[in-house]
A = this chain, B = another copy of it.
Amino acid sequence: MLCAHLNPENNMKFLTLAVVTGVALAAPLVFAQAKPDQQIEYRQAIMTVMARSNAVLGAMAKGDVPFNKDVAQHHANLIAGLSDLPLSAGTFGPGTDKGAPTKADPKIWSQPDKFKAAYDKFAVAAKALPAAASDQKALASALGDLGKTCKGCHDDFRSK
């Protein structure tokens, strides 16, 4: 039985919805109440989960572990589904440059437009993963694109 996620057409519908509803994922009244340390914990947790899924996908794309379409699809869907949260759920809210240990660079708040532009490139690349996950070569290519956007944002907006 094929999962809806494995159907490219359905994936496109999912991606379209994710883009359309991106701004609404915040449930703003919930997250507006989150304290700075909670916002920092949340954004770091999202990044950790995406990074681990990326590691699984990378290992399969490289052939370090056997390629498995279902596993690849699951982790690609997770990255795509999580990708909008750091910005739309307000995890980089005012005052979250401190309150808990963080590598978030102060430029995130001093250059918000530049940060959003860099982050948005990642979100676009993340949402392209599900459609590429069923083919090892396509996945490797999509992961390469994704990796550039990770680095592009981390270089400028994550402290060493």
Are B21 and A70 in contact (CB-based, < 8 A)?
yes
Nearest CB of B to A67, in Å: 10
Interchain CA distance A65-B24 in the complex, whole Å: 12
Does more than half of chain A's interface fall in helix, strand or loop, or is it mixed?
helix
Residue of B nearest to A72 (CB): B27
Integer count of this chain's copies in the complex: 2
Residues of B close to A44: CB separation below 8 A: 45
Asked whether A1 and B17 contact (CB < 8 A) given A49-B45, A65-B29, the answer is yes
Q: Contact at B27–A59, with CB atoms within 8 Å?
A: yes
Partner of A30, one of B20, B30, B65: B65
**Closest Cβ of chain B: how far from A55's Cβ, in Å?**
6
Given contacts A1-B16, A1-B17, A24-B68, 14 further A-B contacts (CB under 8 A): A4-B7, A4-B11, A4-B14, A20-B70, A25-B71, A27-B56, A27-B59, A29-B59, A30-B56, A44-B45, A45-B49, A49-B82, A78-B78, A81-B81
A residues within 8 Å of B by Cβ?
A: 1-7, 10-11, 13-14, 16-18, 20-21, 24-25, 27-31, 41-42, 44-46, 48-49, 52, 55-56, 59-60, 64-65, 68, 70-71, 74-75, 77-78, 81-82, 89
